[in-house]
Amino acid sequence: MSDAKFGAVTAAASIAAKNAVLYARQKNLIEQHDIAKLILRAAWPEAQTSDKTQQGVLYKDGISPVAVDMPSFIVAKENLLQVVEFLRTADDFRYDFLLDLTAVDYLGSPREQDAVENAGCRFQIVYLVRSMDADRRTATFRISVPVNEGDEVPTLTSVWPGANWPEREVFDLMGIRFAGHPNMRRIVLPENFRGHPLRKDFPVKGIGEDYLIEDLLYKRRNVD
């Protein structure tokens, strides 16, 4: 193994060990706090032991082990803002940076457990948050919110203005609306696009988008 590759591996191991200590402390704090009542389900990275099938590993479909590399919370949409504010402001957490925001469509999932873990809902909004404090900048939390067809999730733009465009993208491509968003409209596709193309029931070949060209030509003729 080259020195560079060895250095990268040892650095990653050092970061993982540091995060494991941090997560263990934060897990204990959350379990003792009232905020724990607002979390539907949680998965925590555990210290790896020689028996890797027992700790720190989840099984998907009973076959492939998937490492749990960060704390993962499933939270009801009604509790999202309260949980986010706690993680963002509590002294022992301060996860004050929204790293990413996306959505998952579980329609037709072959894994029956997905429906159970997602509270029987079709969609899941996923947030990744990180602390900008120097001593915990490598640590990340995952917050997931189960969402049914037609449900609205509270916008996080009042907490992180940077949530504006990612929330619009989720609305545009998945059709999930964010209540209280200052500009809830499409951001990738034209306003008159029909449907939401990242949904699993959206036709792979599309629905026939000739109407977009016809609308464009109609508007062009009227402008000219």
3-class secondary structure per residue, 25-90:
HHHHHHHCCHHHHHEEEEECCCCCCCCCCCCCEEEECCCEEEECCCCEEEECHHHHHHHHHHHHHC
Q: Say if 217 falls within a structural domain.
A: no
Per the domain annotation, does 36 fall within a domain? yes
* Strand (E) or helix (H) holding 178: strand 177-179
Range of the domain at 101: 3-188
pLDDT per residue over 181-194, tens digit each?
A: 999 999 999 888 88
Please check whether residue 120 lies inside any domain of the structure.
Answer: yes
Which value, in Å, is the radius of gyration of the alpha carbons in the chain? 21
pLDDT tens readout for residues 140-197: 999 999 999 999 999 999 999 999 999 999 999 999 999 999 999 999 998 888 899 9
Q: Are 171 and 178 in contact (CB under 8 A)?
A: yes
The verdict on residue 199 lying in a domain is no
Element (H, E) at 104: strand 97-105
Question: Residue 132: inside a domain, yes or no?
Answer: yes
The total of structural domains in the chain comes to 1
Do the domain assignments include residue 215?
A: no
Distance of alpha carbon 60 from alpha carbon 132, whole angstroms: 32
Say how many C-beta atoms besides its own lie within 10 A of residue 111's C-beta.
12
Average pLDDT over every residue of 189-206: 89
Per-residue pLDDT, averaged over 76-91, amounts to: 96
- State the average pLDDT over residues 56-82: 73
The answer to whether 92 and 57 have CB atoms below 8 angstroms apart is no
Is 215 within 8 Å of 191 (Cβ atoms)?
no
Instruction: Classify residue 214: in a domain, yes or no.
Output: no
Classify residue 52: in a domain, yes or no: yes
**CATH (domain of 75):** 3.30.460.80
Q: What is the pTM of this model?
A: 0.83
Distances (CA, A) of 97 to 3, 53, 222: 33, 33, 46
